[in-house]
Amino acid sequence: MTRNSFFLHVCILVLMWTLLGAAWNVLGGFAGQVSFGHAALFAVGAYTTIILYLKAGLAPWWGMPVGGLAAALVSLPIGFLCFRLRGPYFALATLAVAELFKLVALNWESVTAGPVGYLITTLPPVRLFGTRLDWEGKPPFYVAAALLGVIALGTTGWLRGSRLGAYLAAIRENEDAAEAVGIDTVRAKVVTLALSAFLTGVGGGFYAFYFRYVDPDAVASLNLSMEMIFIAVVGGLGTVGGPLVGAAFLTAVGETVRARFQVGHLLAYGLFMMLVIRYMPEGIWGRLRRMVPGRRRDGAA
């Protein structure tokens, strides 16, 4: 890989992780519902996109939104089940659901191709607004990822100012009090989960499209859920800009350390996480915002 394309690759990763961190943050940061199971939704998006392309010939850039819708649909029964539980019990339930999804992906070979997974060998060029887009290089992916990043940040920005956003702030702080003022907390949480799932599924679709390879370990592992959590936490829970900052920091740290040391890069990564959580519990973005006087709430939990 040339230096230039490596740089673009890192930018694409940052933007993809921005989308995923923001998706998790919608539920975990704004609504205060910590999920360890977002990998399941990511997997639904990734599998939907790649299967639709390989079996039905649907181009991945259409497969991505379809993958998002599939993830949102799948999230509804999960939400109704898991939202009966609160706090750590909810988190554990989502973890169990994600492991269940991984097992299904490993064993339902007729649909998911089991542990072998799917591989995209060729991506035909496409004409978009009169220009020919060739998917062999990085730039078109960079543009697509940038678009997704903007959509993710735009969605969270809208959410923060919306009535639903105010409901979520109330739910995050005190669910009983929110119910007592007449907020249907289960409905608000299910809607939020569906929104979060849609963004996560789109991210999964993009992953399949960009890396061209989907198997259970790559798209349904606990690591993936953890990464989303880390990005939101390091960037700033319940903030709009947080996931971008978190994704940039963690990708930069991760890739730099990986390039330097073959082993031990996860160790450095973990150390960095611990330092941030210890010294900046409101996240990097949350800390930066606090240093700017006169700004209004961004509601770090």
Partner 1 sequence: MALLEVEGLHAHYGKSHILHGVGFAIGTGEIVSLLGRNGSGRSTTLKTIMGLVKPTAGTVRLDGVDLAGRRAFRIARAGIAYVPEEREIFTNLTVDENLRLGIQEARAGSPTWALEQMYDYFPQLKERRNTHAGLLSGGEQQMLTICRSLLGNPRVLLIDEPTEGLAPKIVKVVAEVIFDICRKGVAVLLVEQKLTIAMRIAQRVYVMGHGQIVFGGTPEALHNSPEVRHEWLEVN
- Binding segment (CB under 8 A) for partner 1, from list 106-114, 177-185, 218-226, 278-286: 177-185
User: Least distance from C-beta 163 to partner 1, angstroms?
Assistant: 9
Binding mask 115-154 for partner 1 (x = CB under 8 A): ----------------------------------------
Count of residues near partner 1 by CB under 8 A: 22
Residue of 13, 10, 5, 3 lying closest to 206 (CA atoms): 13
Residue of 30, 44, 28 lying closest to 203 (CA atoms): 44
Q: Which of 57, 129, 176, 292 touches partner 1 (CB under 8 A)?
A: 176
User: Least distance from C-beta 185 to partner 1, angstroms?
Assistant: 7
Token couple for 113: 């191709």
Q: How far is CA 32 from the centre of its chain?
A: 16
Q: Which of 88, 124, 130, 182 touches partner 1 (CB under 8 A)?
A: 182
281 near partner 1, rule: CB under 8 A = no
User: Least distance from C-beta 172 to partner 1, angstroms?
Assistant: 8
83 near partner 1, rule: CB under 8 A = no
By three-state DSSP, how is residue 181 classified?
coil
174 near partner 1, rule: CB under 8 A = yes
- Binding segment (CB under 8 A) for partner 1, from list 73-81, 100-108, 167-175, 257-265: 167-175
CA-to-CA distance for 21 and 29, rounded, in angstroms? Answer: 10
- Binding segment (CB under 8 A) for partner 1, from list 150-158, 184-192, 206-214, 262-270: 184-192
Sequence-ordered strand ranges (E) for 26-119: 118-119
297 near partner 1, rule: CB under 8 A = yes
Q: Which of 100, 133, 185, 281 touches partner 1 (CB under 8 A)?
A: 185
Token couple for 93: 């339930």
Token couple for 281: 């519990």
Q: What CA–CA distances, in Å, run from 36 to 30, 88, 99?
A: 16, 10, 10
109 near partner 1, rule: CB under 8 A = no
User: Least distance from C-beta 32 to partner 1, angstroms?
Assistant: 10
293 near partner 1, rule: CB under 8 A = no
184 near partner 1, rule: CB under 8 A = yes
User: Least distance from C-beta 12 to partner 1, angstroms?
Assistant: 34
Q: Is 35 left (phi over 0), alpha (psi -120 to 50) or beta?
A: beta
User: Least distance from C-beta 149 to partner 1, angstroms?
Assistant: 26
53 near partner 1, rule: CB under 8 A = no
Pairing of strands 131-133, 126-128: antiparallel
CA-to-CA distance for 22 and 158, rounded, in angstroms? Answer: 12
- At 165, which helix (H) or strand (E)? helix 163-173
**Which residues make Cβ contacts (< 8 Å) with residue 262, sequence separation at least 6?**
none
User: Burial of 292 by CB count in 10 Å (0-12 exposed, 13-18 middle, 19+ buried)?
Assistant: exposed
299 near partner 1, rule: CB under 8 A = yes
Binding site for partner 1 (CB under 8 A): 166-167, 169-170, 172-174, 176-186, 296-297, 299, 301
